[in-house]
Structure 1
Amino acid sequence: MFTGIVQGVGQIIDIVDKDKLRTYKVKLPYQLTKNIEIGASIANDGCCLTVTGFDDDVVTFDIMEETLTLTTLGDKRVNDFVNIERSAKYGEEIGGHVMSGHISCTATIVDLQKTTTNCEMTLQLPKKFMKYILYKGFIGIDGASLTVGQVKEDSFAIHLIPETLAITTLDAKKVGDKVNIEIDSQTQAIVDTVERVLAAREQ
């Protein structure tokens, strides 16, 4: 389980691609290396990955074909950066919203409007996921818990404060880039349940 509060940015320092499997190494901020164990879960750009090895501040992850296809991790290259969050611990404050680290899809950035105090990012989603995007609802974008702004037929906006831009990789994004999306599970459950109830009434 994760909270969507990005704790730091890691740099990919090595990638080995094999048949239907990618192994990569990420250099973590040192403060995030405490008590790392093989088998631990760490979110990379919002995607829950399992630690398969570690040496000091360098952590190794194996990424399966389905994850490579569904997320942006298949497009990463050596020296790229990823948002990092260690798994949440019971009893600690949840500052964002509960997230599983299971990516629903990717979205494409179609517009960016930046000022000195604000960044408005507009993202286009596959149409089948738009029913889960609600004004003022939660969404996970590259592992960051964010609030949905204006919603249109096939896109939605988010507003990023300077602090979010400073501690995540989102400040480096540009129009045309893709980001990982995790739909809020509670929103998805409610929408799907209402759809099933309405469909049953129509029968």
Structure 2
Amino acid sequence: MFTGIVQGTAEVVAIHEAEAFRTHVVLLPEALRSGLEVGASVAHNGVCLTVTAIAEEGVSFDLMRETLRVTNLGTLGVGDRVNIERAARFGDEVGGHAMSGHIMAQAELVELDEAPNNRRLWFELPHALGRFLFDKGYIGVDGASLTIGEVRRATGGQGPRFCVDLIPETLQRTTLGERVPGDWVNIEIDPQTQAIVETVERVLATRATE
């Protein structure tokens, strides 16, 4: 489990390609390597990955075909940076919201509003995920637990959109401060929101057939 509180960023220093498979080597700061072992879970842009090798500062992670298809990790190159969070431990403070590290889709950054002390980002999601968006609800964006500021429902050929407002600490700690329109981010819908919406849908569908 993860909390959505990004602990820092790490640089991708090597990529080993294979058929429908990749290994990323990232340079983890000492604070994030402390106690890390092969087999541990570490989130990269919100994607739960398993440590496969540790060589001094370089830590390796394997990316399978489904990960490359669903997330933005397959587009990374050497020198790019990813948001990093170590798996939560029992007793840790949950400052964000519970996240599984299982990405549901990607969203495109379509609008950017800069202000002196914050940044508003508007993202467009696939139509199927629009039903999970609510004002002031939680959402995971590239591994960061964020609060949805406003929702715009799908209209015409435009998919559902939502915005998030980022404070200086989030901009400094994550890669979201570097995002520009046209970039794609990983999205994890809040599991509790997903469970509630799908349960209500099933109940209503059952009643409609009675």
- The SS at the match of 1:78 is coil
- The offset of 1:17, in angstroms, is 1.0
Give, in whole Å, the separation in 1 of the partners of 2:178 and 2:92. 30
Give, in whole Å, the separation in 2 of the partners of 1:115 and 1:159. 10
1:196 to 195, 202, 209: 202
Query: Which residue of the partner structure matches residue 71 of structure 1?
Result: 71
Query: Which residue of the partner structure matches residue 53 of structure 1?
Result: 53
Deviation per CA, 1:134-191, whole angstroms, max 9, x where unpaired?
1101100000000001101110110000110000000100000000000000000000
- The offset of 1:33, in angstroms, is 0.4
TM-score, normalising length from structure 2? Answer: 0.96
Which AA in structure 2 matches 1:186? Q
Which AA in structure 2 matches 1:43? A
Deviation per CA, 1:114-144, whole angstroms, max 9, x where unpaired?
1111100000000100100111011000000
Query: Which residue of the partner structure matches residue 101 of structure 1?
Result: 101
Give, in whole Å, the separation in 2 of the partners of 1:10 and 1:149. 28
Query: Which residue of the partner structure matches residue 187 of structure 1?
Result: 193
Q: Which runs of 5+ in 1 are unaligned?
A: none
- The offset of 1:198, in angstroms, is 0.4
Residue correspondences, number: 203
- The offset of 1:12, in angstroms, is 0.1
Give, in whole Å, the separation in 2 of the partners of 1:42 and 1:157. 26
- The SS at the match of 1:188 is helix
Give, in whole Å, the separation in 1 of the partners of 2:44 and 2:118. 25
Give, in whole Å, the separation in 1 of the partners of 2:162 and 2:143. 17
Identity of aligned residues (%): 51
Aligned: 1:171 with 2:167: no
Deviation per CA, 1:77-129, whole angstroms, max 9, x where unpaired?
00000000000000111100000000010000000001111100000000100
What value does the CA root-mean-square deviation take over the aligned residues? 0.6
- The SS at the match of 1:39 is coil
- The offset of 1:19, in angstroms, is 0.8
Query: Which residue of the partner structure matches residue 117 of structure 1?
Result: 117
- The offset of 1:68, in angstroms, is 0.4
Give the alignment of 1:28-47 within 5 angstroms: 28-47=28-47
Aligned: 1:158 with 2:159: no
Which AA in structure 1 matches 2:192? Q
